[in-house]
């Protein structure tokens, strides 16, 4: 037998998932269909599921009163009874298998049911498919609540000394995460995250000042229908996502902020204001390609909607659909000292346009990136340009980064970023240097420094050297 996922152990021939499926009642009472004699077992399971559901709702309410968007979801470790490193390198960075799992609607490619250890709760029998549309199409929901918690705690040192206290402790973010599949053709993602509230001010082109208050609490959620028109278009080629459009995909495809291992955000995402919003998205993928196109809410000042398109092409390694990489069962050729390896080249591109103001001023961004993985080394680079018709400003950002696995638990990294702006005193360049250390598969420390070699916006304001350099130690854990 060939096991393409050596860190996962297939269930026994008498799998709980199959057993639960056989024992699901086709119907009850007056509809003339036979009710299974084992429905008592099912009802007990449903009562247990209801209890866990109530606990999950209470957890949501608690955390909502307490962002960098989180993507590490340990609920899947419980579902498959496996370690986080099955799908994550240094979290939240995904391995090639993890990326295939994400794209496939949180289902393992090529036979998810073989590896599930927590059977889902049936929402109707398979027989209902035969009588549709005279019955609701059957599905299932996760057996245990698919919820996880992620906390990021920082200790940072202000190298420039601009604060009264040069050292500071703080919780950068607390997030409640939920994700999973609803049967074979639906998937969902939800997140409630809280970070420190912030008040910012912007000087407009007409010399007025706009203020923006960030409450610190963010709500994200989407539902995806998979494999639309599968017979005509092929498997995985067209999926529809409704909700927070661009979540996980509105970025340069191979240098996404949500998969970075650094504390510091990518400069291009902050400077070019790239962020997800509510809307509709179409996406699809094959073995060596994937794409996303979406329409998002604008700022509400006009009827114009924001939109984006992204695509990526991969040479070598495990396919986006999980094809092309198998390991003989028991051979364990990659884990535990090479689960991150995926010798490949990925090339991606992004187009993103937003509108602002009652006149609908456009803000275009166009960019491309590349990532090369070889053995324990990963190097990447990208370029993106943006032109804002309202401010008449054009920004170009390019960057390069390298990461290396010294040990399975130690990954040093370095990134250089450079911003060129045609506005006065708008240029920036900086290094981000550090190391990610896994104390456990779900517990990570970052020791990181951010050092500017040029920071004209700050230098013009203070009349001196940039004072935004910092050193930070972050504790990041999820469960």
pLDDT tier, 186 (very low <50, low <70, confident <90, very high otherwise): very high
Greater model confidence, 205 or 283: 283
Whether the per-residue pLDDT at 96 is higher than 70: the answer is: yes
Residue 217 pLDDT: 86
Mean pLDDT value of segment 466-470: 82
| Tens-digit pLDDT profile for residues 410-441 | 999 999 999 999 988 899 999 999 999 999 99
| Tens-digit pLDDT profile for residues 16-39 | 434 433 333 333 333 333 333 344
Q: Which of 186, 339, 177 is nearest to 258 (CA)?
A: 177
Whether the per-residue pLDDT at 45 is higher than 60: the answer is: no
Secondary structure (3-state) at 317:
coil
Residue 120 pLDDT: 92
123-137, 151-165, 232-246, 260-274, range with the lowest pLDDT: 151-165
State what percent of residues in the chain have pLDDT above 90.
Answer: 61
Residue 71 pLDDT: 63
Secondary structure (3-state) at 300:
coil
Residue 164 pLDDT: 78
Residue 457 pLDDT: 82
How much helix, strand and coil, in percent to the nearest 5, is found in the chain? 15, 40, 40
Whether the per-residue pLDDT at 62 is higher than 90: the answer is: no
Q: Which of 252, 291, 295, 259 is nearest to 277 (CA)?
A: 295
Q: How many CB atoms lie within 10 A of CB 443?
A: 15
CB-neighbour burial class of residue 279 (10 A; exposed 0-12, middle 13-18, buried 19+): buried
Q: Are 179 and 150 in contact (CB under 8 A)?
A: no
| Tens-digit pLDDT profile for residues 2-14 | 455 656 666 554 4
Highest mean pLDDT among 194-198, 299-303, 350-354: 350-354
Mean pLDDT value of segment 288-299: 96
Mean pLDDT value of segment 295-312: 94
Residue 213 pLDDT: 66
pTM confidence score: 0.83
pLDDT tier, 334 (very low <50, low <70, confident <90, very high otherwise): very low
Q: How many CB atoms lie within 10 A of CB 204?
A: 11
Residue 206 pLDDT: 60
Highest mean pLDDT among 212-226, 261-275, 456-470: 261-275
> What DSSP string describes 86-110?
GTBSSTTSB-HHHHHHHHTTSS-TT
Whether the per-residue pLDDT at 140 is higher than 50: the answer is: yes
DSSP-derived letter for residue 286 is: -
Residue 325 pLDDT: 65
Domain 83-108+149-478 class? mainly beta
Distance separating alpha carbons of residues 5 and 196, to the nearest angstrom: 40
Q: Tell me the residue ranges of DSSP E strands in 325-392.
A: 327-328, 344-356, 361-374, 377-388
Residue 248 pLDDT: 78
Mean pLDDT value of segment 81-88: 89
pLDDT tier, 286 (very low <50, low <70, confident <90, very high otherwise): very high
| Tens-digit pLDDT profile for residues 235-271 | 999 999 999 987 778 999 999 998 999 999 999 999 9
Greater model confidence, 73 or 375: 375
Q: How many CB atoms lie within 10 A of CB 133?
A: 6
**Interacting residues of 7 by C-beta distance below 8 A, sequence separation 6+:** 82, 83, 85, 86, 335, 339
Whether the per-residue pLDDT at 67 is higher than 50: the answer is: no
Residue 210 pLDDT: 67
Q: How many CB atoms lie within 10 A of CB 74?
A: 21
Report the mean per-residue pLDDT for the chain.
Answer: 83
Residue 468 pLDDT: 86
């Amino acid at each position: 037998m060939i096991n393409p996922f050596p860190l996962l152990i297939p269930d026994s021939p008498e799998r709980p998932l199959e057993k639960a499926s056989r024992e699901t009642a086709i119907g009850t009472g007056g509809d003339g269909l036979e009710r299974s004699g084992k429905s008592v077992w099912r009802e007990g399971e449903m009562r247990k599921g209801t209890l866990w559901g109530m606990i999950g709702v209470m957890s949501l309410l608690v955390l909502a009163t307490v962002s960098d968007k989180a993507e590490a979801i340990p609920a899947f470790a419980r579902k498959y009874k496996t370690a986080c490193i099955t799908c994550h390198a240094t979290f939240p960075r995904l391995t090639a298998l993890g990326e295939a799992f994400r794209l496939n609607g949180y289902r393992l490619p090529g036979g998810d049911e073989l590896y599930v250890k927590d059977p889902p709760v049936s929402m109707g029998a398979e027989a209902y498919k035969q009588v549709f549309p005279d019955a609701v199409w059957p599905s299932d929901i996760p057996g245990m609540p698919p919820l996880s918690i992620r906390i990021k705690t920082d200790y940072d040192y202000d190298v420039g000394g601009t604060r009264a206290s040069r050292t500071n402790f703080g919780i950068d973010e607390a997030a409640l995460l939920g994700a999973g599949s609803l049967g074979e053709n639906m998937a969902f993602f939800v997140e409630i995250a809280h970070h420190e509230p912030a008040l910012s001010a912007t000087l407009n082109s007409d010399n007025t000042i706009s203020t923006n208050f960030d409450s610190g609490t963010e709500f994200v959620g989407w539902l995806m229908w998979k494999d639309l028109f599968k017979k005509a278009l092929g498997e995985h080629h067209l999926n529809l996502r409704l909700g927070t459009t661009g979540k996980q995909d509105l970025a340069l495809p191979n240098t996404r902020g949500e998969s970075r291992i650094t504390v510091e955000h990518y400069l291009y995402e902050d400077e070019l204001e790239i962020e997800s919003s509510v809307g509709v998205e179409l996406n699809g993928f094959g073995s060596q390609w994937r794409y996303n196109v979406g329409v998002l809410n604008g700022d509400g000042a006009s009827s114009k909607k924001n939109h984006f398109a992204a695509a990526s092409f991969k040479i070598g390694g495990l396919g986006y659909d999980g094809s092309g990489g198998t390991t003989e069962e028991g051979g364990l050729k990659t884990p535990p000292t090479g689960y991150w390896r995926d010798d490949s080249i990925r090339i991606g591109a992004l187009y993103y346009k937003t509108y602002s103001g009652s006149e609908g001023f456009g803000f275009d961004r166009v960019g491309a990136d590349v990532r090369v993985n070889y053995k324990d080394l990963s190097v990447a680079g990208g370029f993106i340009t943006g032109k804002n018709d309202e401010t008449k400003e054009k920004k170009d950002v390019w960057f390069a980064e390298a990461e290396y696995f010294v040990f399975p638990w130690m990954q040093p990294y370095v990134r250089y970023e450079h911003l060129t702006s045609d506005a006065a005193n708008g240029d920036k360049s900086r290094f981000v240097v550090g190391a990610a250390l896994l104390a456990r598969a779900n517990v990570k420390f970052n020791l990181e420094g951010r050092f500017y070699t040029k920071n004209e916006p700050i230098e013009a304001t203070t009349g001196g050297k940039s004072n935004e350099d910092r050193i930070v130690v972050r504790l990041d854990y999820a469960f």
